[in-house]
Chain A
Amino acid sequence: QKEVEQDPGPLSVPEGAIVSLNCTYSNSAFQYFMWYRQYSRKGPELLMYTYSSGNKEDGRFTAQVDKSSKYISLFIRDSQPSDSATYLCAMSEYGTDKLIFGTGTRLQVFP
């Protein structure tokens, strides 16, 4: 079993929809949780960063972490065609810079 599980999709939604992306993990030592966005043929770029449990909002994006359930989510409101990309969750433990990534969910937002 992988340390981080993520549904690969693809997920196809109409413009304006609310998108929910999720990851589950098995390592209870993970303290830092990130969402990266990767456009086709590009390197991943950090979208959201959360420490421990709780919510964080940035514009149309909201990241949630539930450590008791070992479950993290990314919500995208009012989705746009420009949001079409692969979204990767990533996690790390305190005391290490090593990131463990999910396999990524491919999202397509159609006009």
Chain B
Amino acid sequence: DSGVTQTPKHLITATGQRVTLRCSPRSGDLSVYWYQQSLDQGLQFLIQYYNGEERAKGNILERFSAQQFPDLHSELNLSSLELGDSALYFCASSAGTGFGQETQYFGPGTRLLVL
């Protein structure tokens, strides 16, 4: 158990809908990362938050947004869902020093299926 929790575990929804994925980081970690894992693209970095502020952005679509709250939990909002958004979404956390030498601890993931 990494200490990172994600809810829900599974989500089935329809095209055009909006969903929210939730992540709680390990105790003491200030940084939260969101990744998308699909069969053809592998694990893709979406976005990083550090202590409530956006720190780095990856290949995140404009239809997707995220935020980190004062209690450090984070939410990833996916809107106007398309079939191609079906994937595993992982949250990871770390201390977030910004020097690239930290271990990121991954949650169990949310499996999203868009029908």
Contact = CB atoms under 8 A, between A and B. Distances in A.
A95 B99 CA distance: 4
Interface in B72-89: none
A96 to B, nearest CB: 5
B51 interface: no
A42 B108 contact: yes
A104 B108 contact: no
Given A44-B90, A104-B43, A98 B106 contact: no
Contact of A44 (B31, B41, B43, B99): B43
B68 interface: no
Contacts of B105: 45-46
Contacts, number: 73
A88 interface: yes
Given A97-B48, A101-B43, A45 B98 contact: no
B25 interface: no
- Chain B's interface size range is 20 to 34
Given A44-B90, A102-B42, A104-B43, A97 B106 contact: no
B87 to A, nearest CB: 14
A43 B2 CA distance: 9
Interface of B: 2, 4, 31, 33, 35, 41-45, 48, 55-56, 58, 90, 92, 94, 96-109
Interface of A: 31-32, 36, 41-46, 49, 51, 88, 92-104
In order of increasing CB-CB distance, the 7 nearest A-B pairs are A43-B106, A103-B42, A92-B100, A101-B43, A98-B56, A44-B106, A46-B103
